[in-house]
Amino acid sequence: MEMREWAWRVFHADCLEEKLVTPPGGLKSLTDDKPGSPIAWTPPPRPNGLQVSHKKTRFKFPKPGSLHSEEMRIRCLHTFANHELMALEMMAWALLAFPEADKHFRLGLAKILLDEQRHFQLYSELIASKGAKFGDLPLNDHFWRLAGSISNPLDWVCTMHLTFEQANLDHAPFFGRLFQEFGDQDSADLMEVIFRDEVGHVGFGTRWLKKMKPEDVSLFQAFEAHCAPGSPPERAKGPEFQTQARLQAGLDQEFIEQLKLW
Ligand SMILES: [Fe+2]
Ligand SMILES: [Fe+2]
């Protein structure tokens, strides 16, 4: 199957099943001979019941201290599942938006798309094991709102991998610890899986930022210059700053210090 065909199906799918469709022969069977012409961002279709909700109907994200309640933990997991759904839609879009990007970059995106599909499924199953269902609660369009201002692979890397995904290096262990404290081992275990994959996704972003940035600017300067408007570098960190995870993802000390101070 051509990479574009797969990405097209996922991005334009109007049912959950199709959004989660994987290449029949796995990643290795994908070809990338006809990447096509770039498509501009438009919000992808969503099946009935999974549309973005009106702001007024959305819940506030639960406070950490309220996570002793299963209902609040479900709200949390539901929000994270929605992040995964938006992430997989955006990875598919990036494959359609950047047909001229380096083939290794595109293959890396395809691999991450598979990961995000798996993450979504894991959250869905966990929510179901708690007697709820993905789609029961209102959904936001947090990542989508910034996609329109991403116009090249460098913007993409800085906004998606090095902002949203980098922030998860702080969020995932933070919520993992809370879930564990409140005796929800299944949720804590899932946060650990997500965290480990996210180190890889941020690592992908770091490698490509290093390759694509101009030589005379630092990693952090390039990052700062290419974050989407409305998404400053502070969005790249969460409640407890994880230096080690960032080093593992290949970010340098200078970048880490500058982000910490931001
Ligand atoms: Fe993910
Ligand atoms: Fe990710």
Ligand number nearest to the C-alpha of 201: 2
Measure the CA–CA gap between 79 and 141, rounded to whole angstroms.
Answer: 11
Ligand number nearest to the C-alpha of 200: 2
Classify residue 70: in a domain, yes or no. yes
**What CATH number does residue 102 fall under?**
1.20.1260
Q: How far is the CA of 262 from the centre of ligand 2 (A)?
A: 23
Q: What is the pLDDT of residues 172-227, one digit of tens each?
A: 999 999 999 999 999 999 999 999 999 999 999 999 999 999 999 999 999 999 99
Classify residue 47: in a domain, yes or no. no
Q: What is the pLDDT of residues 42-96, one digit of tens each?
A: 999 998 888 888 777 778 889 999 999 999 999 999 999 999 999 999 999 999 9
Classify residue 53: in a domain, yes or no. no
Q: How far is the CA of 87 from the centre of ligand 1 (A)?
A: 7
The whole-number pLDDT of residue 55 equals: 78
Q: How far is the CA of 39 from the centre of ligand 1 (A)?
A: 23
User: For the chain, what is the domain count?
Assistant: 1
Residues 6+ apart with CB under 8 A from 244: none
Classify residue 49: in a domain, yes or no. no
Q: How far is the CA of 191 from the centre of ligand 1 (A)?
A: 10
Q: How far is the CA of 194 from the centre of ligand 1 (A)?
A: 6
Radius of gyration of the chain (CA): 18
Classify residue 51: in a domain, yes or no. no
Q: How far is the CA of 215 from the centre of ligand 1 (A)?
A: 31
The letter for the amino acid at 156 is: W
Q: How far is the CA of 65 from the centre of ligand 1 (A)?
A: 24
- Residue-number span of the structural domain to which 131 is assigned: 3-30+61-261
Classify residue 124: in a domain, yes or no. yes
Read off the pTM: 0.96
Classify residue 37: in a domain, yes or no. no
Classify residue 39: in a domain, yes or no. no
Q: How far is the CA of 100 from the centre of ligand 2 (A)?
A: 23
Give backbone dihedrals phi and psi of 15, rounded to 5 degrees, phi first.
-140, 155
Q: How far is the CA of 116 from the centre of ligand 1 (A)?
A: 4
